[in-house]
Each structure stands twice: as structure tokens, then as C-alpha cells.
Homo-oligomer: A and B are copies of this chain.
Amino acid sequence: MSDDPIPGATVARLPVYLRALASLAASGQDTVSSADLAELAGTQPAQLRRDLSYFGTFGTRGVGYDVATLRASLGAHVGEDEEWPLVLVGVGHLGSALASQFSQPPFRVVAALDVDPALVGTTRAGVVIRHQSEMADAVAETGAVIGVICTPADVAQEVCDGLVAAGVVSILNFAPTLLHTPGHAEIRTVDLAQELAILAFHESHRPR
């Protein structure tokens, strides 16, 4: 019941629930119903209850959920207790944006790499940018566990290979290309233009 297989769709919603809980906590609310929390998270109440049921029993019937308790429990399951050191490869505009976005707990950018000599030596999110050729050293020294690729698409595969070789097995890829990997690293590709294309599809099929 605790580490049975959690549906991927449920995992994807956990961060949303956590954010909603954080804002409830910030506004001083200490109890919340599945209806209200679902509303905040953009889901259905039944969906929310089902999702939570994979992790245990948190609510009180007739009352709802204790915000602080639920938040702590979910947070622990998502790994919010540990700190996740990231290595960022490619520090153009996108990389710079992510450097700050991804420096909030439980994440922290501990290394940033680029090939541009003009960028090497400058700072992002409190980290000095090093040259990409130092990847293996940078990963070893900082203990980075998750790699974030923000390079152009044509070099993303070799960057990915380098990260895997350096021991990074979780990779978030923002380059619009499919990455292949020898071992079983986990790679998630976020394709920004894809979302836009989906929007265009719906727009062009909109009933007029």
C-alpha cells in the first residue's frame, strides 16, 4: 500500500497538490476538504481522494485533511526532505531562467556548464559557470544527481551521453529532440514547442 506501483498520472499531480497545500498553509488555513483542495489543484474531488489513497489514509471523515500533516506526508513521498543537487548544461536564456526557477527547495543548482567562453566564469543562481569539458569533474565534485539539458538540439545527445558517463541517471531534457541512452537512465523530455503545437491544433479545430 505504501510502495505499490503509483500510477504515473498520480505522480504528475503530486507537485500540484503540494503547491496548493503550500498556499493554503501560507494563508493560515489548517484544514481542507477534498472538494476545496481539488478546486485549487484543478482536479476532481474523487480524483484527489483516489490519488491520496495510494499513499495512505490522511483524512478525517466528515472533516477533511489537516493541511500541515498532509503536506508533510506527500512531501516526504516526493523527496522534498532531501536536497536534490542539479547540474545545468547550457546556460543561454532558457538555462538562466531555469537556474533561478530550479534553485528553490528541495532543488539546488550546484553546477552550471556551457561552451561559450563569454559565459564561463560568470554566475547564475550563485554558481560560477564552468566550461562544458569539465563536466565529469563538476559532477564528481558537486555530487549532482539530476542533469538538466538546455543546449541546442544538435548537441543534446552528446551532452546526455556525457552526463550518463559521469554517473547522472536522471535527466531533464529541454532540447527538442529524442534522447537515447545505453543504460537505464531516466530521461524526461520537455518539449516547449509541442505544447504550442497542441494549442494550434485545438485552435484550428475550434468550432466556428
Contact = CB atoms under 8 A, between A and B. Distances in A.
A16 B194 CA distance: 8
Contact of A186 (B194, B196, B203): B203
Contact of A196 (B92, B107, B203, B205): B107
B196 A41 contact: no
Interface string A69-113: 000000001110010101000001110111011101011000000
Contact of A93 (B84, B94, B145): B94
Given A107-B196, A146-B196, A172-B196, 9 more contacts: A14-B197, A15-B193, A16-B178, A78-B197, A79-B201, A93-B94, A146-B203, A169-B203, A188-B195
B84 A170 contact: no
Contacts of A206: 169
A36 interface: no
Contacts of A42: 178
B202 A78 contact: no
A26 interface: no
A11 interface: yes
